[in-house]
Amino acid sequence: MRCNLQRYLERSRGVICDPERIFICAGLQQSLDLVAHLLRGGHSTLAVENPGYHLPRVVFQNNGFEILPVEVGAGGMDLEALRASRGSIAYVTPSHQMPLGQVMPIANRLNLIEWADSGGNVIIEDDYDSELRYHGKPIPSLQGLRPDADIIYLGTFSKVLSPALRLSYMVLPNALLPGFNALYRDYFPTVSLLEQKAMAKFMAEGHWERHIRRMRIVYQKKHDVMLKAIEKHLDARATVIGAGAGLHMVLQLRDMPCTENSIMSAAAAKGINLFPFSATCVGAAPAATRLMLGFGGMAAADIEEGIRILAGVCLKVDENCPREQGQK
Ligand SMILES: Cc1ncc(COP(=O)(O)O)c(C=O)c1O
């Protein structure tokens, strides 16, 4: 399976590595746990994107790390702020910032690599949904820019195949290999060898890349249906952030002072469950209310109906929401 992955990653993501540098894991959480345990002898701080995926914060905190939130700007993690922080490991999602969707420009990528090179720092690149880009060219990985830099590259089968599989992979930099192998030499694989063999065959016979192409079309349809439904039902009152890739988008409500909590509970009463945007934020959530809208697991027909119901919920909650003087 490592050989199949190596060929796929090189072809589709520009990741350059030997199969020996690839480790099969049971999801992001396990990869991060292994990495945190490995690095905690020499590091004690993790810089994370803010807003950003909550799981790395939890896993590294559980391993005794101090978490340092770094603001996200138009080009992804703010690198000036990263340099000013005490972070010596940076967890980033450069090809599709989670949750806001920015792509880190090439100059910032080189700057981030230079940060890793110059101070004995480590980058964790989470390339979680790179297969799902609906417009423009695919964005090659950060790892491929400098395969010998201290970049830990993480990918998953959760988005395109199934999150129920619990199948992911990580590519370690050469510098971390001896320590990793010494620490985990006696560990058994956590992903069933039957599943690994089945996946290796699936890849070797070309089904995986065919499946990706098929799923990209399926998800693009759902993505477009969601955008259209938002335009139809909420256009004047919301702005979409981070569309064009992945399996979610963020809706920023305009002129609606109602809170995420009030909308989430009213939506849940109508059968719509939302992941709280505030869970991606360290410290205060943004002043404007933002909602995370996932479309991956929904049928296209239900997306239009779901947005219609959600729009009704937002407008109703907004009507009953107390306003400060001067607000409309
Ligand atoms: C930023 C990010 N990374 C990784 C994953 C996938 O993790 P896993 O491989 O554990 O399913 C997700 C899933 O939602 C995610 O949002």
pLDDT digits (tens, 9 = 90+) for 24-53: 999 999 999 999 999 999 999 999 999 999
Whole-number Å distance between alpha carbons of 299 and 279? 26
| Separation of alpha carbons 52 and 172, rounded Å | 22
User: What is the best residue among 128, 157, 160 to mutate for testing ligand 1's pocket, by most ligand atoms within 8 Å of CB?
Assistant: 128
In this prediction, residues 45-68 reach a mean pLDDT of 98
CB of 7 closer than 8 Å to CB of 15 = no
Residue 323 — very low, low, confident or very high, per pLDDT cuts 50/70/90?
Answer: low
pLDDT band at 324 (very low <50, low <70, confident <90, very high): low
Q: What are phi and psi of 294, to 5 degrees?
A: -95, 140
What the block records as the tokens of 231 is 């335009």
Which band of pLDDT confidence, cut at 50, 70 and 90, is reported for residue 215?
Answer: very high
Rounded to an integer, the average pLDDT of 95-117 is: 95
- pLDDT of 256 reads 75
Q: For 114-139, what is the mean pLDDT?
A: 92
What domains can be seen in the chain, in order of their start residue?
A: 2-205 (3.40.640.10), 209-319 (3.90.1150.10)
| Number of Cβ within a 10 Å radius of residue 320 | 9
Q: Which residue, by CA, sits nearest to atom 2 of ligand 1?
A: 128
For the entire predicted model, the pTM comes to 0.94
- Ligand 1 mutation pick, 129, 195, 199, 247, max ligand atoms within 8 A of CB: 129
Over residues 179-189, mean pLDDT: 95
- The pLDDT of 182-199, averaged and rounded, is 95
Contact between 275 and 292 under an 8 Å Cβ cutoff? The reply is: yes
The pLDDT of residue 327 is above 80? no
Residue with CA closest to ligand 1 atom 7: 28
CB of residue 191 inside a 6 A radius of ligand 1: no
Average pLDDT of the chain is 93
Average pLDDT over residues 106-112: 96
94 close to ligand 1 (CB < 6 Angstrom): no
Check residue 318 and give its pLDDT: 75
Q: Is 262 in the pocket of ligand 1 (CB under 6 A)?
A: no
Atom of ligand 1 nearest to the CA of 168: 9
User: Within a 13 Å sphere around the CA of 87, how many CA atoms are in the beta-carbon half?
Assistant: 29
Count H helices and E strands in the chain, helices first. Answer: 10, 11
Residues with Cβ < 8 Å from 13, sequence gap 6 or more? 127, 130, 138, 140, 141, 143, 144, 155
pLDDT at position 71: 96
Distance 127 CA to ligand 1 centre (A): 9
pLDDT tens, residue by residue, 277-300: 999 999 887 778 899 999 999 999
CA 158 to ligand 1: nearest atom: 11
Tell whether ligand 1 has an atom less than 6 A from the beta carbon of residue 156: yes
Query: Is the CB of residue 97 below 6 angstroms from any atom belonging to ligand 1?
Result: no
pLDDT at 136: 80
Residue 103, pLDDT score: 92
Q: How far is the CA of 316 from the centre of ligand 1 (A)?
A: 33
Mean pLDDT of the 184-194 span:
95
What is the model's pLDDT at position 65?
A: 98
Return the minimum-mean-pLDDT range out of 7-21, 97-111, 220-234, 248-262: 248-262
User: pLDDT by residue (tens digit) across 243-256?
Assistant: 999 999 999 998 77
pLDDT the model gives residue 286:
78
